[in-house]
Structure 1
Amino acid sequence: MLIRNVYRPMVFSCQTTEPLADVARQMVEHKVGALAVLDGERLVGIITERDLVTALAASADPTSQRAADYASTQIRTAALEEDSLDVARRMLEEGIRHLPVYEGGRCVGMVSMRDLLALEAWAA
């Protein structure tokens, strides 16, 4: 199945300067495990629940530390026309739980391991 059929076609995001506490609130509000990190309108990273845990373990102050301080900046992406099994394998190999989905050079959504696992469970 193509990623086009399983990804979440909404981009929940935060700005690089947003405090980690606000990032966490947005994740809870949107019920997601990752946010795209933007500098203006340009995607510069992704911040995940795991990144927030890392920040807290380092005793970071969630009201003064910013999203850019803990975001992953080596962004891997998926394309709408990629096969979901290929994307799932790549995510497993690289230890990634969330991938921004791109079409025509623009981020159009996010796919998570949970999305891909649900696809597998429904197919069974």
Structure 2
Amino acid sequence: MRNIAETMTKECITISPMDSLADAAVLMREHDTGFLPVVEGNKLVGVVTDRDMVTRGLAKQLQGSASVKEVMSDDLTTVKPNASVDEAVSLMASRQIRRLPVVENGELKGIIALGDLAVQQVFVSEAGDALSGISEHEHRESTYH
């Protein structure tokens, strides 16, 4: 059985909690992502998504100079590098998340995304089921909130 360390993306674009929302937006645009791990040194302290920036930043009328810390999520779901891919997929489905930070002793080691699993054809049906569940959840959120 494959583990996360064999499948995860190891080279992560990260940002500091004290960097600005404008800095985060530029990194997201340059790297075509809507997700950035927030680190202090190598320690993962949160994540920020494009959705966080809109729902927590723009909705509060924060400016681009506001810090990432003001909008980041710090209640994180993570997985260890030796976890199985099946464990990660199950966790992603149950928590309704598309990306899962891989952490060991508080240090960010990589990111596993549903896309990584699908591209590598690892547990494709489970990844598809998780994605379907997440998409349904997001549709309900946008419809009812």
TM-score (norm 2): 0.71
CA shift, 1:122, in A, is: 9.0
CA–CA distance in 1 between the matches of 2:122 and 2:83?
Answer: 20
Count of residues paired in the alignment: 124
Structure-1 residue corresponding to 2:50 = 49
Q: Which residue of 2 aligns with 1:9?
A: 10
Closer, same or farther in 2 for the Cα pair 1:107/1:42, shift >3 Å? closer
* 5+ long unaligned stretches in structure 2: 126-145
Cα deviation digits, residues 51-83 of structure 1 (max 9, x gap) = 123135505334132211111101221122211
- Distance in 2 between residues matched to 1:41 and 1:3, nearest whole Å: 19
Q: Tell me the C-alpha RMSD between the 2 structures.
A: 2.4
- Which structure: greater helix fraction? 2
What is the TM-score of this pair, normalised by structure 1? Answer: 0.82
CA distance in 1, matches of 2:86, 2:122: 13
Tell me if the contact between 1:19 and 1:62 (Cα under 8 Å) persists in the aligned partners.
no
Q: Which residue matches 1:70?
A: 71
Percent sequence identity is 28
Q: Which moves more between the two structures, 7-16 or 34-43?
A: 34-43
- When residues 79 and 121 of structure 1 are mapped into structure 2, their CA distance, relative to the original with a 3 A threshold, is closer
Q: Which has the higher strand share?
A: 1
Segments of 5+ residues of structure 1 without an aligned counterpart are none
- Cα distance in 1 between the residues matched to 2:93 and 2:55: 20
